[in-house]
Amino acid sequence: MEEKRFLDVQLLADYVHVSKSLIYKLVSTDQIPYIKIGTRTIFDSVQINQWILNGGKKVEDLPQLPKF
């Protein structure tokens, strides 16, 4: 079976073994990395794997400060 890079809500729920309603709750509270395309919500499996490894905490890159 081919592993998909981008997942919809149902595929993500199956992937991490939780309910779709929990995924929607995590999205609405901005606790999980996601991408909105129009009305669709999709998830990058690379970001989701990192999110899982970080104990369910989003990794946000800090802005780079200019070098003087």
CATH number at residue 30: 1.10.10
Query: 49-58: long-range contacts (C-beta < 8 A, 24 or more apart)?
Result: 52/16, 56/31, 56/32, 58/30, 58/31, 58/32, 58/33
Q: How many folded domains does the chain comprise?
A: 1
Give a yes or no: residue 25 inside a domain.
yes
pLDDT at 63 (0 to 100)? 60
Give a yes or no: residue 28 inside a domain.
yes
Give a yes or no: residue 21 inside a domain.
yes
Give a yes or no: residue 62 inside a domain.
no
Give a yes or no: residue 14 inside a domain.
yes
pLDDT at 55 (0 to 100)? 87
Spans in the chain with pLDDT lower than 50: 1
Give a yes or no: residue 34 inside a domain.
yes
pLDDT at 1 (0 to 100)? 43
pLDDT at 65 (0 to 100)? 65
Whose CA is closest to 44, among 2, 6, 3, 4? 6
**What is the domain range of residue 12?**
6-53
